[in-house]
Amino acid sequence: MDPERLTGFVYPVKKNGVPVRGRFQLWVDLPPEPAFAKDGSPVLDAKGRQKQRYPKTTKVVEATGKKSAERLLEAWIAELEAHRTIDPERLRVAELLDRWLEATRGEMRVASRSPRRTAARWRLRR
């Protein structure tokens, strides 16, 4: 088994303690990352080493059985590894934030112009 490969498991979704038919929860263990306190300083253990965080990400899917849910898990792991182990949903949010920052920078540059010219320029950029 490759130590750099992501791992995960499939778990049936339960409602009131009873498994729901056709719904499974996929869990993926992301690589460990250093832990930091709220003030930004590293969290140290008793021996003075920096502690690690072991994040997990989950996703609920509909599948006909456990084997098909495991196939979906493998496909999701492959997608996460293709995106350098970044969740695709987080990646989309980051892209939206980048676009928003670019747009606000553009508005700040043309703030001295009339609102109509700014709106026209905004439409051209899209």
**Residues 76 and 15 reside in one and the same domain:** yes
**Residues 76 and 98 reside in one and the same domain:** no
How does residue 2 score in pLDDT terms, banded at 50, 70 and 90? low
**Residues 107 and 91 reside in one and the same domain:** yes
Distance CA(26)–CA(63), nearest Å, equals 11
58, pLDDT greater than 80: yes
Q: Give me the residues paired with residue 9 across strands.
A: 27
Q: At residue 59, what are phi and psi to the nearest 5 degrees?
A: -155, 135
**Residues 42 and 63 reside in one and the same domain:** yes
**Residues 31 and 91 reside in one and the same domain:** no
- For the segment 59-74, the average pLDDT, to the nearest whole number, is 91
**Residues 55 and 116 reside in one and the same domain:** no
**Residues 53 and 104 reside in one and the same domain:** no
Least confident range from 6-15, 49-58, 64-73, 101-110: namely 101-110
CB-based contacts of 9: which residues, under 8 Å, 6+ apart? 26, 27, 73
**What is the CA angle 79-81-83, rounded to 5?**
75
**Residues 78 and 112 reside in one and the same domain:** no
Distance CA(123)–CA(40), nearest Å, equals 40
Q: pLDDT higher for 10 or 79?
A: 10
Distance CA(11)–CA(27), nearest Å, equals 8
pTM of the entire predicted model: 0.54
**Residues 41 and 71 reside in one and the same domain:** yes
Domain interval for residue 6: 1-85
User: How many structural domains is the chain composed of?
Assistant: 2
**Residues 61 and 118 reside in one and the same domain:** no
Q: Are 36 and 42 in contact (CB under 8 A)?
A: yes
Residue 72: per-residue pLDDT: 92
